[in-house]
A and B are shown apart, each in its own frame.
Chain A
């Protein structure tokens, strides 16, 4: 299966702490993306990192990509209660139409 796998499945932290989520995949990618899903809502695109990039930042988000290990991590710094959500990695394996393969997600709870 090409499906990405997130680790951990669930994470509970205190407000202000950093949260790190990991994603592993099995076959080569064109790009890897991270999405957030609040309960009862659609997924929201957070960040896209291409296969020739190693690190990318967006506000309090930092994404790294290690293609040799076929893994990526999402770091949320100085977490807030509003960051409570599920986070999914999705991989584009260069299929026609930019089809994405989503992992099972990490459920993050940030306690105030």
Chain B
């Protein structure tokens, strides 16, 4: 049963520290999405890739966030330096050719 995996599942860090979140999309899917979910803002799209090329990262604060796909089996989202307002659940999703998205379990980030 193919699934999207994300690591770590939980991360607590202090303000100013670097945070790296990883995602392994479903093999064969050619699009990968990064979302952030908070109670106040709901689900926000941060960035997405097609065939490993970034298509849109306009939802990301560019000064501190970066998203990459070094290969087809790994997508990363980095925050440097992290701030308390970055506390949220970060989801990775991979997209099938027909348009459905398959979400990972998320990384719950707490920045103190």
Question: Are A and B bound to each other?
Answer: yes
Q: What is A's interface to B at a CB cutoff of 8 Å?
A: 30-31, 33, 35, 41-45, 48, 88, 90, 92, 96-102, 104-105
Answer whether A97 and B99 are a contact pair too, CB < 8 Å, given A42-B104, A105-B42: no
A102 B43 Cβ-Cβ under 8 A: yes
Inter-subunit contact A43/B91 (CB<8 Å): yes
Interface of A is mostly: strand
Q: Which B residues form the contact surface with A (CB < 8 A)?
A: 4, 31, 33, 42-43, 45, 48-50, 55-56, 91, 93, 95, 98-106
Chain A neighbourhood of B56, CB < 8 A: 97, 99
- In the complex the two chains form, is B42's CB within 8 Å of A48's CB? no
Kindly report which residue of chain A lies nearest to residue B51, judged by CB atoms: A97
The 5 closest A-B pairs by CB, nearest first: A42-B103, A97-B50, A43-B103, A97-B55, A102-B43
